[in-house]
Structure 1
């Protein structure tokens, strides 16, 4: 398939590079705000799982309650492919912008709804059923959120700059996670344990409402991507994008699944599960751990534009290789260090262990968008990235917590992360370098 830049965007970029850059900046900002909302919402649930578990799954065994809460966490990932495919299909037919507005509104309603749920003590078994329903709703819309944002930025950025501008999508991921950690740190630090159990756990969920309003404003003010508009001028949208993806893009889908498996394992174990690891298993104060995670997330966000820009010069494959090798080399030694000293020692070790994260997050999203043509990009990314998210994120916290409960081996998350990174490295061997190529139409 020929690699061509749309005539509309090529003219814009050559005649007025300032305008092309302005389009990319607005797209990057709008995408980052939406992904921040998504990962704030997922982060809040992950960080508050220890508190939420006994409220919705009461019992004498705290580990069983935590596992139940993590199973509900994973359920939202299982529905993501359905939401991604259905909304991605719409994105390939009616455009990226409208779908991205829908996803952020849907996620916001579901998250605010979780903050209003009754507990099991109030309504019995209806409470966990409603919790699962809210998580499934959240996962449905999240299945098309970060994927659509990555496609939106890639199609709005000039060739040779997609890595830099694309890095702002995961900047939103990191900022959302950091905001979730800060809110949870303040909430758990200010309130007593009884207040947290009675009503305080609701605060982080309800605070998603202003974030959603800001994101809606940003996304309402951006135009449809130049690439997609140019595509519609020349061709008709695909009638059966799923069938077309499975018949023409299967190799690329498989490679992206493995890459996103490694990427998601690094994020969800590296930040969200480490909260459980440091508080439940190592016994550190919850509020202090949240502050540590927030600071690390902000540091990771600051690094991402550098690595995204570097991939524009060196190529995506080289930079991603550095990141995945970093996970394999760092995660297990640093987890050993975490359990040997104070929280300061654990924080430094966690920071070192997460250094590969900004590399993989920033370079991964533009890479995935570049693997597929414009006509089915949204659908293809929805299928591959969401399957990788299930394998590396949705079921991971539950699996590693269950294994730790049975074996007592606290290094289980590290082995899982290293294995996922190795699978991603194998995928890189067959990945086409796309940093300097125009997007395929």
Structure 2
């Protein structure tokens, strides 16, 4: 009887784990599809909403708006991260996908500059800001939700779901853009076809919201509630110890975020504007690179579970710093095979860094300030380093006339961040996620409510 009960319990746990992984993966994929689709239509959006005397000027304006969304991300991380620590991981994830889906859908309805003049780019900027606000709470909340459920020995592997589905969301956006390019003539794609994937965000986001609302909150958060230890002001309770951990997350995100946006957003622009490829061929190669990256993410997670977070993330960062220039030289040849080799090398080291980032966001902080601390460090780095990355890369290639000049930026960031993490990052492999960490410096939200 006991053996039957044990087998039943194991089966329930496995079913629950599959459901949690599937819902987390689907929600994160849909969120990143919404956020990334803008990047694949940056050239078209630049022409329609940011008219200029030169195509390069329009493209630079469109990429600048891509970066503007990252400026707003710290505010989103602050508000939604605080919300996740106070109200729970599940409500924060539901709110994030709702905001992202709504703002993405509305972009499809914005008239062009030729119709409403300056109001058109203003509307695009405001909606991109709302996307950025939503994305500011997504990554840290999603990583925390998944890792707080993960088996201790497989947190790296589970974290790979967040990294891989982010890439798959961008991949889906890329395939959608590719389908529109193949299905419609250029004039129709520019006139109305580009709006279709933004409209697709509405049903996809409703699906993501439904899946997230069906989940329970994490055992770690429910334990905080039961013990009346939910923080009233998690940001204030981070303290000096928390600020040091935020700096470590900033360093890791600087190279992981920049590398990801090079791979997911800038490569297609580089291939079309610098190397001289057609849009369809550039999208196909970018899609291939993202598929390879997604397949490498679970391997990176297993490496981190085997040898530790610190060794893995430092090895990945150092690798990015060393191979960035050779990778761009390979991509710049214009040869499909050599370009794919360059993307594969880049994706391999980026996977090591990115997957470990998801685990470190969680393991570095105590549960009552976890999402706030991770979201602040993550989004500050994305605003300062990652978000402007495609714009800086394009400016380097255009301003210097050197095709591989964008590699200097990612190489410098990766090497500086790696040295910093080598010096200061503690090993967190096997950390107890229920430990409260530093002493609290104020009443919790739950105890204050009870006292009232």
Shared fold (TM-score, shorter chain, > 0.5): yes
Of the three residues 53, 58, 63, the one matched with 2:56 is: 63
Of the three residues 321, 337, 343, the one matched with 2:336 is: 343
CA contact (8 A) 1:35 1:173 kept: yes
Size of the aligned set, in residue pairs, is 429
Rounded to whole Å, the distance in 1 between the matches of 2:59 and 2:204 is: 28
Q: Deviations over 1:131-164 (max 9, x none)?
A: 0111011111110011100010111112222111
CA contact (8 A) 1:20 1:157 kept: no
In structure 1, the partner of 2:106 is 113
Q: Deviations over 1:80-126 (max 9, x none)?
A: 11111111111111101011011001101111111121100111111
Rounded to whole Å, the distance in 2 between the matches of 1:361 and 1:208 is: 25
In structure 2, the partner of 1:9 is none
* TM-score, structure 1 as length reference: 0.93
Aligned-residue RMSD, C-alpha: 1.9
In structure 1, the partner of 2:301 is 308
In structure 2, the partner of 1:157 is 150
In structure 2, the partner of 1:353 is 346
In structure 2, the partner of 1:431 is 425
Worse-matched range after superposition: 68-77 or 229-238 = 229-238
Deviating 4+ runs (over 6 angstroms):
none
The Cα shift of 1:17 comes to 5.4
The Cα shift of 1:20 comes to 4.6
Rounded to whole Å, the distance in 2 between the matches of 1:164 and 1:334 is: 27
Instruction: Say which SS state the counterpart of residue 144 (structure 1) adopts.
Output: helix
Rounded to whole Å, the distance in 2 between the matches of 1:239 and 1:174 is: 35
In structure 1, the partner of 2:287 is 294
In structure 2, the partner of 1:273 is 266
The Cα shift of 1:169 comes to 1.0
CA contact (8 A) 2:245 2:365 kept: yes
Distance 1:206 1:126, change over 3 A: same
Distance 1:203 1:295, change over 3 A: same
Rounded to whole Å, the distance in 2 between the matches of 1:342 and 1:310 is: 32
In structure 1, the partner of 2:160 is 167
In structure 2, the partner of 1:146 is 139
Rounded to whole Å, the distance in 2 between the matches of 1:182 and 1:121 is: 29
Of the three residues 399, 404, 407, the one matched with 2:400 is: 407
Distance 1:387 1:246, change over 3 A: farther
**1:320 matches 2:324:** no
Structure 1, unmatched stretches of 5+, are 1-12
The Cα shift of 1:339 comes to 2.0
* TM-score, structure 2 as length reference: 0.91
Rounded to whole Å, the distance in 2 between the matches of 1:287 and 1:210 is: 26
CA contact (8 A) 1:34 1:145 kept: no
Of the three residues 229, 233, 236, the one matched with 1:240 is: 233
Instruction: Say which SS state the counterpart of residue 210 (structure 1) adopts.
Output: helix
Rounded to whole Å, the distance in 2 between the matches of 1:256 and 1:276 is: 28
Instruction: Say which SS state the counterpart of residue 149 (structure 2) adopts.
Output: coil
**1:128 matches 2:121:** yes
Distance 1:310 1:243, change over 3 A: same
1:33-72 correspondence to structure 2 within 5 Å: 33-72=26-65
Worse-matched range after superposition: 380-389 or 398-407 = 398-407
